[in-house]
Amino acid sequence: MYTGRIVAVARNLEGRLAVLYRVSSRSFPNREAQMKTAAVSIVPKKGFEGDVFKNPYIAYNCLRIAGATAVATNGSQTDPIAEKIASGVPARDAFIGILEALDYEKDQLNTPRIAAAVVRGGDSGFLGVVREDGLEVRRMKLEKGECYFVSTYETHHVSDAQRGEFDASSARQGAEFILSKGVFADMTNAVTGVCALEQKDGFEIAVAMA
C-alpha cells in the first residue's frame, strides 16, 4: 500500500518516547535526510537539485528539537510548531494554530500536512493532519512498545486503528523501523527514515536510507 509520507509517535519497551518520520515517494524518490544541529532536513540528492523548481514542497526540515520537544512533519510546519511548543504553547494548540494557518499543500494532489510531537518525560504523543476536508489533532496515550501513525494518503486520519508494535533501543533502530518493520513493512516506496528518541538529557537523532 502506498501511503506517502508518514509521521509517528512511539514509546519503546524501555518507556522512552520517540517521534518518527518517513519519506515515501513515487514522483520524487531522489531525496535524502541530512542531519543538522537539533534538526533534520529533507533535500534532493546531488544532481537533482532542480527538482525543487518542479515541486516546492519536497525540501524542508522534517525534524526539529526545541527544548524538551521533538517535532516531525512533512513540510514547512515543522519549525513553527516546534517553536510554539518550546515557547510554552500547549502542543494541541500549537498544532491547531499552525496547521490551520498553513493549510494543506496546494499541489496537484492537495497533499495533507501531517505532524507528530513528543515531549520528554511524558507517556503520550500528539498527531495532527490538515486535509482539504478537515483538521484533526489528538493526544495519543502510548503504552510501552507501541506506536501510532498518520500518513498523507490512505491512512490520513488520526485513528486508534493506526497503531502497531514498536521496538527500538536506539534512534538508528527507530529510523530503520519506520522504513521496513512492524506495521510499516507493507507500506511501499520508502526513501528515508528519521527518528528522535528520548534520552535523559535530550534526544538522540538518527537517519536511515531505504
pLDDT tens-digit readout, 132-150? 999 999 999 999 999 999 9
Q: Is residue 163 part of a domain?
A: yes
Residue 90, domain CATH: 3.60.20.20
In a 3-state reduction of DSSP, which class is residue 187?
coil
Which of 162, 190, 175 is closest to 21 using CA atoms? 175
Q: How far apart are CA 24 and CA 43, in angstroms?
A: 14
141 beta partners: 124
pLDDT for the residue 39: 96
For residue 126, the one-letter residue type is: F
pLDDT for the residue 37: 87
- All 3 cell numbers of residue 86? 518550546
Range of the domain at 185: 6-209
**What tens digit of pLDDT does each residue of 172-210 get?**
999 999 999 999 999 999 999 999 999 999 999 999 999
- All 3 cell numbers of residue 159? 485513528
Measured in whole angstroms, how far is the alpha carbon of residue 150 from the centre of its chain?
9
Q: Is residue 36 part of a domain?
A: yes
Residues of the chain scoring pLDDT < 70? none
Q: Is residue 1 part of a domain?
A: no
The count of domains in the chain is 1
Give the number of other CB atoms < 10 A from CB of residue 106: 10
Cβ burial, residue 70 (10 Å; 0-12/13-18/19+): buried
pLDDT for the residue 69: 94
Q: Is residue 82 part of a domain?
A: yes
